[in-house]
Amino acid sequence: MKWIKVVALYLLVIGVYYAILAYIGDFSARQSIVLAFLLSSLSSGLEKAAAKPVKRFTPYSIRVSPKWFELLTDFKLINKPEEWDEIEASFKDTPALEYRILRDGIFLTIVQQSEDFERTLIYWNNHRCFVSDVDFEDHEQRNKFGWKCVTQGPDAEIVIDFPEALEHKYFDVEHRAV
C-alpha cells in the first residue's frame, strides 16, 4: 500500500515538472518528458541523500508513588485506618535522607540509553547510585501472574511493568524529561 503512495507522488512530481517545462519553459513534449523524469529522479536522490536529523536521547525520570493505604487494606494486610497510622508514624521520624519506600516510593532517572535499548545507565535516586538494570521481581513470576508492560512512544523509551489489575487504583506513575 505504501508503494502505491510513493509511485503516485513520483508521478505527480513528474507531471508538475512536465507542465512547468512544457508550458512555462516552452520545451517540446519529448524534451519536457525526458527533463521531467531527470529532474524528479534528481530531486528524489537529493531527498534521500539529505542529512537526517540525529535522534538524541533525552534523559527522563520516573516516580512511582504507591497508594499504600488502599493497597494494604484491599489486600487485607491491614484492617483499620489506625493500623496505617501506626505504620506511618514508624517512619515519620526517620531523616529525609534515609530512604523508606513507604514514604518515598520509587524514583529513577534514566540518564543514558543506547539506540538498541540494550545498554542503559540509570540513576536510582532513592539509593543515590548508578545501575544498569533495576529488577524488582523475577521475570518468570511476573509473567505467571499476568503483569503487563506499558511503553511510551514508538521507540519504547520508557517501560514500566505492573499488574494490570493494579494499574490506576494503587499507583501514581509520573514520568517527565529531566
pLDDT tens string 113-126: 887 777 888 888 88
Write the single-letter amino acid at 111: V
| Reported pTM | 0.51
Q: Could you give the CA distance from residue 165 to residue 51 in angstroms, rounded to a whole number?
A: 46
Give the cell for residue 128. 543515590
pLDDT tens string 79-94: 888 988 888 888 788 8
The beta strand positions in the chain, using DSSP E, are: 60-66, 106-113, 120-124, 129-131, 147-152, 158-163, 171-177
Strand partners, 171: 66
Phi-psi region of 100 (alpha: psi -120 to 50; beta: other; left: phi over 0): beta
